Structure 1
């Protein structure tokens, strides 16, 4: 159980690119990174408007001299300081992720990047090669993977509680963009602009989240081919989709589906994963993250509660406040950030990461999945090899 004690000898000197004053995701990054004494925010290029970014950085307690107008000057200036940054989080629109992450790796920095890592598999593999060559950690913020019950599901599946895995049903289908209100929201505007968002909207923005959960729960299940169809129900969003269905065939014969949507009217969040085996099923829903449904055929359905002693030890490892009290988004992100810190600290000492976390491979696979989905959909909804 996490009790707030130090995990590494000293906090890593950390900066942010993006995540300014009106950024919801920026606040989540900072809340998670600073919770466990693993990172210290000492610099940043917080906003595309240099003065606004400087003012905001000062409000966060950052030295005005270390509030930079852009990421290039941030990396260059910090490299010449004896107390310069060691890690950076990238919380900017999708179209900038590749160039900022590449520049950070070339500057010898560890990186935490929003997903998608970039737009193409070729770019993702280039980042992986850079990270490997410079022995730097790249973490990708699949935040919901930090919920302890995801670990419980992983362990139950591994020990055979579900039997042979037959189907994996995934969705992340909210309703907040059901209407054509993109002009009223800056974040919605760039998400439907191909120049900024890339080749997809909901496939990359929400669909990759439950997909990564499936990789955590089922690490041996490999996609062989997939078929995707995507729609722009709000026509002004074309060619980017606001709804998509993906059907996947895994090696060994299991099947999977992902419903990615921003037009599921009335749904608050709608991220869910259900794993179905030959004898039982598991289901986790992020709106009720402290419960894991376990349903054995022919027996009464069970609900496993986070923090209880009957869970696997790995499911209790990241528990923060004991059973009964609810844990949610901020706790899950904090669990990822302390894992990022442990991996970065180990890399600094030339040692392997001591714990699993969404790494550069997770970033590459997310990009690969989106690229294959777009290829399938744009070719008329056909099967494509993964």
Structure 2
């Protein structure tokens, strides 16, 4: 259980690009990174408006001289300081992820990047190569994967409780954009503009979350081919989709489906992952993240609760408080950030093998998310055809 005991030698000097005043995701990143004292915010280029960004940084308690007009200036200035930042979070629109992350890696900085990591697989592989060459960590913000009951689902699959995995169903389908809300919401407006969002909207913005969770729960499943159809029910969003359905076939013979939507009117998040085996099934729902539904054929269905001693030890490792007390999104994101910190310190010590068994969404997860979206778009744009997952 996390009880305030430091697991690294010191806090990591840390900066942010984007995530300025009014940014929900910026607040989430800061809350998670600073939660356990593994990161220490020292610098930022928070806003396209330099004055507004500087004022916000000062509000956060930063030295005004370390509130920069742009990320290039920040990387150059911080690299020249003996107490410069060691890691940077990229919390900006999708079209900037690749150039900012690449510049950060070339400046010798570890990176925590919003998803999707890049527009294309080629760009993502370029970042992966640079990070490997320089011994740097790239974390990707699949924040929901920090919930402990996902680890319990993974252990139930690994120990054979569910039997042979047959079916995986993924869903992230909220209703908050069932109308053209982007007219009044800048945060939504860029997400439905291909110049900023890239080749997809809900596939990249939403579906990659349950996709990564499924990869955590069923790490041995490999997609063999997939078929995708996508729609723009709010017509002004075309060619970007606000609804999509994906069918997947895995190399084991298992099958999968993914429904992702921003127009599921009346729904909240509705992010669910269900894994069906030959003996039983598990289902996790992000609106009730402290519970996992376990159904064994011929037995009563049961709800497993976070923090209880009947869970696998790995599912108890990140508990912050005893069973019965709810933990939520900020706790899950903080769980990932302390793991990012452990990985960063191990790489800086020249001992990456020290964290070889540590689970967190790293560069490989980022590459896979981009590759999956790319294949989905290719299938949908060809008329909804099966495409080999190469």
Q: Where on the TM-score scale, by shorter chain, does this alignment land: which range?
A: over 0.9
Indicate whether 1:46 and 2:49 are aligned: no
Q: Conserved in 2, the CA contact under 8 Å of 1:162 and 1:280?
A: yes
The 3-state SS of whatever aligns with 2:132 is helix
Q: For 1:2-81, list aligned pairs within 5 A.
A: 2-81=2-81
The 3-state SS of whatever aligns with 1:108 is coil
Q: Conserved in 2, the CA contact under 8 Å of 1:5 and 1:36?
A: no
Which of the residues 336, 359, 363 maps onto 1:360?
A: 363
The 3-state SS of whatever aligns with 2:68 is coil
| Partner Cα distance (1:316, 1:298) in 2 | 28
| Partner Cα distance (1:267, 1:380) in 2 | 28
| Partner Cα distance (2:138, 2:213) in 1 | 18
| Partner Cα distance (1:301, 1:270) in 2 | 21
| Partner Cα distance (2:50, 2:195) in 1 | 23
In the other structure, the counterpart of 1:100 is 100
Moved over 6 A (4+): none
In the other structure, the counterpart of 1:292 is 292
In the other structure, the counterpart of 1:169 is 169
| Partner Cα distance (1:348, 1:356) in 2 | 18
Gaps of 5+ in 1: none
Cα offset for 1:351? 1.0
Q: Conserved in 2, the CA contact under 8 Å of 1:163 and 1:278?
A: yes
Q: Conserved in 2, the CA contact under 8 Å of 1:113 and 1:141?
A: yes
| Partner Cα distance (2:231, 2:266) in 1 | 19
Indicate whether 1:384 and 2:387 are aligned: yes
| Partner Cα distance (1:338, 1:166) in 2 | 34
In the other structure, the counterpart of 1:370 is 373
Q: How many residues align?
A: 386
Indicate whether 1:261 and 2:261 are aligned: yes
Q: Conserved in 2, the CA contact under 8 Å of 1:36 and 1:338?
A: yes
CA distances 1:139-197 after superposition (whole Å, capped 9, x unpaired): 00100000001110101100000001000000000000000121100011000000000
| Partner Cα distance (2:26, 2:184) in 1 | 20
In the other structure, the counterpart of 2:248 is 248
Gaps of 5+ in 2: none
Cα offset for 1:3? 0.8
| Partner Cα distance (2:323, 2:218) in 1 | 26
| Partner Cα distance (2:67, 2:181) in 1 | 34
In the other structure, the counterpart of 1:183 is 183
| Partner Cα distance (2:176, 2:307) in 1 | 32
In the other structure, the counterpart of 1:201 is 201
The 3-state SS of whatever aligns with 1:253 is coil
Cα offset for 1:358? 0.3
Indicate whether 1:123 and 2:126 are aligned: no
Cα offset for 1:375? 0.1
| Partner Cα distance (2:44, 2:86) in 1 | 12
CA distances 1:169-228 after superposition (whole Å, capped 9, x unpaired): 000000000001211000110000000000000000000000000000011000000000
CA distances 1:223-272 after superposition (whole Å, capped 9, x unpaired): 00000000000000000000000000000110001111000001110100
Tell me the TM-score normalized by structure 2.
0.98
In the other structure, the counterpart of 1:229 is 229
| Partner Cα distance (1:41, 1:240) in 2 | 36
The 3-state SS of whatever aligns with 1:303 is strand
Cα offset for 1:298? 1.1
Tell me the TM-score normalized by structure 1.
0.99
Q: Superposition RMSD on alpha carbons, in Å?
A: 0.5
In the other structure, the counterpart of 1:110 is 110
In the other structure, the counterpart of 2:270 is 270
The 3-state SS of whatever aligns with 1:282 is strand
| Partner Cα distance (1:299, 1:11) in 2 | 48
Q: Conserved in 2, the CA contact under 8 Å of 1:163 and 1:279?
A: yes
Q: Conserved in 2, the CA contact under 8 Å of 1:19 and 1:91?
A: yes
| Partner Cα distance (2:44, 2:6) in 1 | 24
The 3-state SS of whatever aligns with 1:240 is coil
In the other structure, the counterpart of 1:326 is 326
Cα offset for 1:378? 0.1
The 3-state SS of whatever aligns with 1:83 is coil
In the other structure, the counterpart of 1:304 is 304
